Structure formats: structure tokens, C-alpha cells
Chain A
Amino acid sequence: MLKGKKTLKVALAAIAATTLASGLLTGCSAGASAGTITYLTVQDSWTHADPQRNYTGRDIAWFGSYLNRTLTAYDRAPGAAGSAVVPDLATDTGKASNDNKTWTFTLRDGVTFEDGSAITCEDIKYGVSRTFATDVITDGPTYAIGMLDIPSAADGSSTYKGPYSTDAANDTASFDKAITCSADHKTITFNLKRSVGDFNYTTTYLSFGPVPKAKDTGDQYDLKPVSTGPYKIKSYKAKDQMVLVRNTNWKADSDPLRAKRAFPDKIVVKFGVASEVLDQTLLTDKNKTAVSLDSLQPTNLTAVFGADGKPVKKYADRAINVYDPYVTYTAVNVKKLNCLPIRQAIYYAKDFKGLITLLGGQALAGDPADGVIKPLMGLDYAKTGFASEDKDWKPEGNVDKAKTLMDQAKSECPALYARVTDPKQGLVYDAPDSPSNKNASAIWIAALARIGVTVKFNFIEAGKYYAVVLDATKQGDLSRAGWAPDWANASTVIPELFTKEGGFPMSQNWDDPAYAAFKQRVVANLSQADRKKQGAEWAALNTYAMQQMWVIPNVFSKTQEIWGSKIGGAFFWEPQGSLSFGDLYTK
């Protein structure tokens, strides 16, 4: 609930190399082609099964492993190697030209849909076109709309409204120019409106995958997408189950990424399992080839993980506790809190220890965040010198330091000082209406009361939360938020959070005196061709944002996964923030 507007998507967490490595197989060898893997989830159905609507890391990892191929994909490898982009339907990871505004991919030979018909450039083009039908194909990532060279209408929306539109004014001509196909239907060219150096990361989203026009059922395609991968859907019924069987028309030699790794004969997803039943099934190892798609309930986590956060002996080889892609933080409305010492005082007065205890302790909930970039993003992360690295920072809050800063604020910005210390006014803190946030509010109120600052919580109905706080006129002084990068480049973090044009500008920091210089560096770094230099600059800008206290970071959060004792090949696939489902096999 604390996550950013892109809660539905999880993306890259770490990357070690930008080398666009070819599909080198790693990390698995012991698997045998047999058996059934059963996935259990408390959800009643997949959020979406339609490739153009799939947006969460876990779902992309699952569907990408078994059913839906795209032009490029993340390598299926543990650790940082997993974040490397490799070719999938394409023969390579794309060729950029025209200052990264034109990207060309060539399809492999022998790639087919589940009915055996060949996948053509036109199928991918049709698939991408569906993204534009935002009224029907809802919830999906909209990179294609943002990047393809199609004009915008007066209201900012694309002039192309997708393949279902019956409007005569629908700008199909522009779309046809933005994506072109070669005469042999094997080469697809994307013409972008701006240079995108890492467009081949974007194409790892399943929304850049093919859909056969004849089989498209609009909204209902979500119930039975046509497979291009090693499995196909035999049945899918919400609140019941999904059954995958082998796709006999899939050719291993056309799919080096998945070849030799399509282990189980059958894959079953059981929906709507009661959470306690799910937990007990895994804890007792009732179904030895079961895999949980959800986290354990907090009360059961302590049975699996010790105080050090590592799984206890009994679960040592079938559970993990790792960083997920999220950073949670308190966005500071800089427009309202235009006084650095006050922002700093809040940072020092905050009771991290109290908040993390509430979430279940540091071992399972996560570590104090020192910025908005997570250490998993190896190229972009550097210690900022804040939080644990800040000698004045204390987990329970440094009241003395905060008081000193408040004294400083009293003379520097007396009006704001008067407001935040006035018990009748004080600060307004926005948070989604949930029991855990209500508990957290008490800790915040007590922590800031220690320095004479009054906080009032504005609880907003969870479903409307981001719509409210992203409205600059409705946002309070402080707002609960969280963010995960779209892919392994902090270009999907720093500009999104801290520029006026970003997708998640909750800090409203563009009137801050420190903004102009910052913005300049961001723009420059976006077109930085040297990924290493780019990463170092993102890290520096992360520190810069921290120095301005545009956010008060909270937690580098963690996630826990558990599976049955007869499941082999499990590893955490960092770019998707989930298990690498396609590598699982039954022992």
C-alpha cells in the first residue's frame, strides 16, 4: 500500500554489466523433463494474462517463462547476470540508429504461435497497437504510447487509438509509420519520437509481444492469450485454476532462452487458496512440488526465518529472504516545506526503529534506506552518507540534532516554523487508509512531538490514494510513497521522482532553489551513452536529492519466497523481483 503508482509493476533491481550478453545458459542443469509444478496463490486470478496488460514483475516473469515471448528478455540467471538483456524472438538485442531513435529487430526462424502459424512482424505490430486501445486494454504499460513517433492530440493523448477504434479520425497512418515491417515479414522497425538508449530493455515488457489479429478477442483475450512459448493454456478459470500443458508447436531450437529448461510436463496454478491453507501447505510440505506465488503471512514468517533473516534449518533449501525492487519513503512536498532545516529535522527526528518493528523487524521487513536507489542496482547505487552511514542518524531518532535544526529553522524560516509547531495547524501527512498505516501514524506523531512538531494524518481511501496525492493541489506536506524502477537503470527512478515531467513527482521540488542545477544534470545524464558514467551520475543525483531532503527514505524492503521440497532450480530473478519460474523443476 506504500508503494508508488507503479505498484503494479516491478522491474529491475540490479545490474552488473550492460553487456547485452547473448543467451548464455546458466544456473540450471539438474532439471528433468517430467512432473507437475503446482503454484498456489490467494489471488482469485492473474491480475492479467493478456501480454499487453501484464505489468507486475512476478506476472511478467511467470508468463514470460512459460507462455509469452517478446523481442528481448532478461537472462534467466541468478544475481546480477539476470539483469542482462538477451534476444528472445529477435536474433539479437536490437540495432539502434538515428541517435537511438530507430530500433530494428529481426525475428528468428521457426518462431510460431501455439497453432503452428509463424510469428510475423505484423503480429508484433498488432500486439503493440493494442497498447493504444487504452479503453479496452487497461492497466498495461504504456511505453509504446510514450515512445513511438505518433503525434499527440490537444489533450495530450495519442492520435492513434488502437485497432478497435471505429473513429474515422483514428490516426492509423501515423502508427503504420511508427512501426514498419520488412517485405519478408521478419524485420520490425520502431521509430521513436525521442532517443531511447535502452529501448531494448523496454521491449522486455510482454506488451511488445505478438498477438494474432484473428484470435484477438479484445477484453476477453485476457482469459486465453495465444501462446508463443513452450507451454499453452489448457484451461484457465478464475477462482479455480489454470492448467498449462506443453505447446507441441514450440520449437526448442527457435528459443535458446527456454530450450532445455521447459522441465515440467504440466503446470497448474491454484487460485483463491485461503492464506492460512496456503501457508500450512508449504510449511508442512504437504504438496512437495508446490510453489507459493505469495508471501507468507507475517505470523508464519517467523516459523521459517530466524532472527538473522535467514531461513531456519528445516527450510534452508526451500525458502529465501531477499531485497524486493521497492524503496519506501516519505515524499516531502517541497513547495509547502520550503525550508531545508525543517525537512532535515523531520529526517533526524523520525523513529525508524519504531516503524520497522511495526513491519515485523529489520530482518524481514528491510533495511534503512539511504536514498531512492536500492543497492541491487549496482551501477547506479552508491552510499549517500545518510541513514546508517550518517553518524548523527539514530534508528530511534536523534532528538538533539533535530532540535538544533529546528532552532535554526526558527530564525531562517519563522513563518513555516510557526505553522509546524502550532498544535492547531502542524503538518499534514497523507497515507492510504489501512490498519498498518494507522499504527504507523502513532509512531510518527510521537516522534515529531519530541521536537515540538505537530503532525496530522490525512487517511485517504486506498484505491484513490495516488490519484489524490499526485494532484498538486490536494497533496499534504508529507506523503507516504514507494517506488520500484521499471528496469535496471535509475533513469526510471531519479527523473520520474524528482523532475516536473516525471511520472511520480510527489516532491513538488521544481521551485526549490536547488532544482535548476539538478534538472540540468538529469537531462544531460539521460543521454549519457556511457552506462558506467551514467550510473555514477545517478548515484550522485540520488545523494543530491537526499541532501535537499526531497524525500525521507524509509526502507529497502524485502520479500520472502517459499516452495516445496521436491522443487529444484529455484533462484531469485532480480530484474523481475520474483522466482525465475521457468527454471523450476520437480526433483
Chain B
Amino acid sequence: MNGLVTYITRRLGLTVLILLAVSFAVYVIFSLLPYDPAALTCGKSCNDPGIIAANRVRLGYDKPFWVQYWLFLSGLFVGRNFGTGAAAIFCPAPAFGYSFQQHACVTSLLGDALPVTIYLAVGALVLWLIVGVGLGIVSAKFKGKIWDTLSTAFVLVGTSLPTFLTGLMLIIFLVIKWDGSPFPSDGYTAPEEDFGQFLLSMVLPWITLAFAYAAIYTRFVRSQILEISTEDYIRTAKAKGLSDGVILGKHTLRAALAPIVTMAGLDFAGLLGGAILTEAVFNLPGMGRLSLTAVVDIDLPVIVATTIVAAAIVVVMNMILDIAYAFIDPRVRV
């Protein structure tokens, strides 16, 4: 177990370094973009060079790149003041910046958006794992039979239908055209506000998002099971006289766990960066919408923050997966 502790500690340290590198890379990339951050903060219709110049000084964009990056980094730890005088706004740590387009500290925008996306992603993950793994098992078990054919059809539809179309069809038929539909037509309700409404408002987004993923997972789980079924240790299990159920449930699925967990972990991490189409169709104020709006409006601090957060989620998820691997696969532990 000491080895495990060392392993996890080393992995955590590495993750911190990667995050630092990611933040730096993102910062560099966006500072190379042909956008003048000072011009962008002076309003949508602003082309007054005097105001732009004043903003540049006021917001520190006149400082050398390293100083700006340092201010950004230190803001993450101690907070930061944006602007000067009576109109200055202080964003407490971790301060990712201030969005002059949304009039809020970027961190609070992230704080609003991230839970929504987490709710969306967690619900969808649970749903698609249940459906995808379930159908994958059924499909593999009845390979070549009608159930397999039906689930193959499901896979085809699920992987070829774009999310926004699935979502739109669900909304139009289950919300708008169905009188007395229990599902709300007006977007998101926070769980702390009204938990019942929250669930109702999330059901269709979950289904929409899970639909596409479930199809992919069905195919993946099916092929994993079929592949593992040809392994020698499955033949051993059969030779022992174990029932098909035990062989599938204990031996085959256990072996399929690692690849499924890896895939689910990375997909989940990707989703936490935002499920743009689903969020847009269902009007969920999550990370996807936050990034999308930021890109459309060229809201640089928000773009930088959402990019870093999305990358950080993937990096952290990779770390979690690596650590989880040590628990899933005993061979990794040595």
C-alpha cells in the first residue's frame, strides 16, 4: 500500500505541473490571437482609440507578457482588482479575470455554469452507462439474434443523429406539441430552487445526451464482451463449471471494466467542459453555453478561463483514471 501512496502523491504532483503548463499554454495562445483585449473591454461598438488606450493601462494590458501572466497566476491565489477608482471591481481568489461583457468576475460565471454542466453530465453518464452497458451485454449475449439486430439499429440511429436534432425533436414532440406535457418548456431550474422542477427540466437533456453516448457505449461494450469472451481465462471459467451469468457478470465484465471506465471517464471529463449543443437546445446555462457565448462575443477572460478549466478537468480526470486504474487493475499497482 505504501507503493500506492507514493504513486498517488507522484501523480498529484505531476498533475499540478501539467495544470501550470496548461494555464501557461492557454495564456500564450490567447495572447497571440489578433484581438486587442483593451479594445474588447471598451464595449461592443467601441472604436475610440483614447478609451482603448486608457483601458489598456487601467487593466494592465500594457504590461509585458510575463507580468500579465504573473498577475493572472497570482489572481488565482489572492484575488485581483479590475479597473481603478470608484469603478474598480475586486474579484476574490481564485480570480480568473473579469468579464466586461457579462459584468461579473469570471470565477462566479464559472461557479454558476459548472454545477449545471455537472448535473447534466452526471445524469447523462448514469443513463448512458445503464443503457449502453445493458444493451451492449444483451447484444453480445444474443449475438446475431433479433436483440442484437435491434440494438445495432439503435447504435446506428444514436450515432448518426446529431444531438441538437434529437433534442429538438424531443422538445417539439414531448414539450411543445404535447398538451399537458410534464416537461417545462422554459429551460433550467436550479435544484435548490425546486428539485422536482429541476428533475423535470433535466430529463430530456439527459436523454438527449445519453442517447448519443449510449449508442457508442452499446457498440463498445458489445465488442469488448465479445473480445473478452475469447480470452483463455473465460474458457477457464467455463471449464470450472461456472454458470453463464457468473462468467458474464464476474469474469467478463470485470475485465471490461477498465476500458469502459477509461472511456467513460474521458467522455465525462469532456462533457464537463460543456455540452454545447445540448445546453443550447435545452437552454441550460452551463459551461458549453458560457464558452460559446464567450467565443461569439470574443470575451477573452472567459475564453481563457473556460479553456483552462476544461483542460484542467481533463488533466485531473486523467489523474483520477490513473489512480482508479491502480484499483481496477492489480497489475498496475506494482
A residues contacting B by CB (< 8 A) are: 5, 8, 38, 44-45, 47, 133-136, 138-139, 155, 157, 163-166, 218-220, 222-223, 237-241, 270-274, 276-277, 280-281, 284, 286-287, 463, 466-467, 470
**Within 8 Å CB of A157, what residues of B?**
48, 50
User: CA of A365 to CA of B190 in the docked complex: distance in angstroms?
Assistant: 41
Asked whether, in the complex, the Cβ of A45 is within 8 Å of the Cβ of B168, the reply is no
- For residue B333, give the distance in angstroms from its CB to the closest CB of chain A: 45
User: Would you mind naming 8 contact pairs between A and B with Cβ atoms under 8 Å apart?
Assistant: A5-B45, A44-B289, A45-B102, A135-B42, A218-B83, A241-B187, A272-B289, A273-B283
Asked whether, in the complex, the Cβ of A240 is within 8 Å of the Cβ of B187, the reply is yes
Give the interface size bracket for B toward A: 35 or more
Among the listed stretches B6-14, B84-92, B145-153, which one makes contact with chain A, having 4 or more residues with CB under 8 Å of it?
A: B84-92
Asked whether, in the complex, the Cβ of B283 is within 8 Å of the Cβ of A277, the reply is yes
Chain B 71-92 interface 0/1 with A at a Cβ cutoff of 8 Å (1 = within): 0000000000001111111000
Asked whether, in the complex, the Cβ of A138 is within 8 Å of the Cβ of B44, the reply is yes
User: CA of A274 to CA of B204 in the docked complex: distance in angstroms?
Assistant: 15
Q: Which of A5, A237, A239, A241 has the most CB of B within 10 A?
A: A239
State whether the Cβ of B192 lies closer than 8 Å to any Cβ in chain A. no
- For residue A258, give the distance in angstroms from its CB to the closest CB of chain B: 27
- For residue A99, give the distance in angstroms from its CB to the closest CB of chain B: 30
Which 6 residue pairs of A and B lie closest in terms of their CB atoms, listed nearest first?
Answer: A138-B43, A239-B285, A218-B87, A164-B87, A166-B85, A139-B43
User: Given known contacts A139-B43, A286-B176, is B100 in contact with A219 (CB within 8 Å)?
Assistant: yes
State whether the Cβ of B17 lies closer than 8 Å to any Cβ in chain A. no
Asked whether, in the complex, the Cβ of A139 is within 8 Å of the Cβ of B168, the reply is no
**Within 8 Å CB of A135, what residues of B?**
42, 51, 54-55, 58
State whether the Cβ of B293 lies closer than 8 Å to any Cβ in chain A. yes
Asked whether, in the complex, the Cβ of A467 is within 8 Å of the Cβ of B289, the reply is no
State whether the Cβ of B236 lies closer than 8 Å to any Cβ in chain A. no
User: Given known contacts A136-B87, A139-B44, A284-B176, is B103 in contact with A270 (CB within 8 Å)?
Assistant: no
User: CA of A241 to CA of B45 in the docked complex: distance in angstroms?
Assistant: 25
**Within 8 Å CB of A163, what residues of B?**
86
Asked whether, in the complex, the Cβ of B187 is within 8 Å of the Cβ of A164, the reply is no
State whether the Cβ of B171 lies closer than 8 Å to any Cβ in chain A. yes
Residue of A nearest to B102 (CB): A238
Asked whether, in the complex, the Cβ of A134 is within 8 Å of the Cβ of B289, the reply is no
**Within 8 Å CB of B232, what residues of A?**
none
Asked whether, in the complex, the Cβ of B185 is within 8 Å of the Cβ of A164, the reply is no
Report whether over half of chain A's contact residues are helix, strand or loop; otherwise say mixed. loop
Extra 9 A-B pairs, beta carbons < 8 Å, given A134-B48, A138-B43: A8-B45, A38-B186, A45-B102, A135-B42, A138-B51, A164-B87, A272-B285, A273-B187, A287-B186
Asked whether, in the complex, the Cβ of A139 is within 8 Å of the Cβ of B103, the reply is no
User: CA of A273 to CA of B282 in the docked complex: distance in angstroms?
Assistant: 8
**Within 8 Å CB of B55, what residues of A?**
135
User: Given known contacts A138-B43, A467-B47, is B185 in contact with A286 (CB within 8 Å)?
Assistant: yes
State whether the Cβ of B280 lies closer than 8 Å to any Cβ in chain A. yes
**Within 8 Å CB of B171, what residues of A?**
274, 277, 280
User: CA of A165 to CA of B87 in the docked complex: distance in angstroms?
Assistant: 8
Asked whether, in the complex, the Cβ of B44 is within 8 Å of the Cβ of A274, the reply is no
**Within 8 Å CB of A274, what residues of B?**
168, 171, 280-283
Asked whether, in the complex, the Cβ of B186 is within 8 Å of the Cβ of A270, the reply is yes
**Within 8 Å CB of A273, what residues of B?**
186-187, 283
Chain B 256-293 interface 0/1 with A at a Cβ cutoff of 8 Å (1 = within): 00000000000000000000000011110100011001
Residue of B nearest to A219 (CB): B103
- For residue A441, give the distance in angstroms from its CB to the closest CB of chain B: 24
Chain B 33-53 interface 0/1 with A at a Cβ cutoff of 8 Å (1 = within): 000000001111111101100
User: CA of A135 to CA of B58 in the docked complex: distance in angstroms?
Assistant: 9
Residue of B nearest to A273 (CB): B283
- For residue B164, give the distance in angstroms from its CB to the closest CB of chain A: 8
User: CA of A239 to CA of B293 in the docked complex: distance in angstroms?
Assistant: 10
User: CA of A353 to CA of B48 in the docked complex: distance in angstroms?
Assistant: 39
User: CA of A216 to CA of B176 in the docked complex: distance in angstroms?
Assistant: 41
Asked whether, in the complex, the Cβ of B283 is within 8 Å of the Cβ of A270, the reply is yes
Q: List residues of B (177-235) whose CB comes within 8 Å of A's CBs.
A: 177, 185-188
**Within 8 Å CB of B104, what residues of A?**
220, 223
State whether the Cβ of B138 lies closer than 8 Å to any Cβ in chain A. no
Asked whether, in the complex, the Cβ of A219 is within 8 Å of the Cβ of B87, the reply is yes
B42 CB contact (under 8 Å) in A138, A155, A223? A138
